[in-house]
């Protein structure tokens, strides 16, 4: 519990750099392809028989919910796992968007959009791999810090026990000296 309090007090939510990185990722890997896809959908609406976006919308909502959990305040030991889950949902969303793009008429816009989505998916996977590696390194660093804190707590407990024993011995010796001094004083007065 004490370690949890130290970690919670050390950081309030995700660091600003991580939030900026996430915003760049959202813009680069979600918003821009989604805007391109929406533009293509507007152009190819007459060719698409039954546009079903409920699966994509549920993925987008799930990605948003996972992002909120990742960016919550304090230490979250599941943050890396949540980020991996979110990245797999983003990959599924991008793949779904790519498939949907290919469902329309095979024209230059669809080919361009399909290529764009493929490039974005590859770029996202590369960025995610780098981010996951950085988070694993940070988790390992936090683990080593926790081990050092545990060792420090153990050392401090031993020091306090030794200090208390020394203080008890010192008080006992001081008490004996006072008793001997009183005995001598009493012997002189009698």
Statement: the pTM of the whole predicted model exceeds 0.85: no
Q: Among all chains, which residue has been given the structure tokens 């401090």?
A: 156
Q: Rounded CA gap, 73 and 8, in Å? A: 8
Q: Rounded CA gap, 12 and 8, in Å? A: 7
Give 120-123 contacts, CB < 8 A, sequence gap 24+.
120/28, 120/29, 120/32, 120/33, 120/94, 121/91, 121/94, 121/95, 123/28, 123/29
What is the pLDDT tens value at each position of the chain, 190 positions in all?
555 565 555 555 566 676 677 777 777 777 777 777 777 777 666 444 444 567 777 888 888 888 888 887 777 788 888 888 988 888 888 787 777 655 544 566 667 777 777 887 888 888 888 888 888 888 888 888 888 888 888 988 999 999 999 989 988 999 999 988 888 888 887 6
């Amino acid at each position: 519990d004490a370690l949890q309090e130290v970690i919670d007090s050390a950081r309030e939510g995700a660091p600003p750099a991580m939030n900026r990185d996430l915003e760049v990722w959202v813009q680069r890997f979600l918003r821009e392809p989604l805007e391109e896809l929406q533009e293509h959908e507007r152009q190819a609406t007459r060719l698409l028989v039954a546009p079903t976006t409920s699966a994509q919308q549920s993925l987008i909502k799930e990605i948003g919910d996972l992002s909120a959990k990742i960016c919550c305040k304090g230490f979250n030991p599941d943050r890396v796992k949540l980020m991996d889950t979110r990245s797999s949902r983003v990959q599924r969303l991008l793949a779904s968007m790519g498939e949907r793009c290919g469902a329309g008429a095979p024209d230059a816009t669809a080919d361009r959009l399909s290529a764009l989505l493929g490039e974005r998916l590859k770029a996202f996977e590369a960025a995610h791999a780098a981010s996951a590696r950085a988070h694993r390194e940070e988790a390992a660093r936090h683990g080593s810090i926790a081990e050092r804190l545990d060792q420090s707590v153990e050392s401090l407990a031993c020091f306090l026990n030794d200090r208390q024993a020394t203080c008890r011995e010192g008080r006992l010796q001081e008490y004996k000296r006072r008793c001997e001094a009183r005995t001598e004083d009493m012997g002189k007065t009698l």
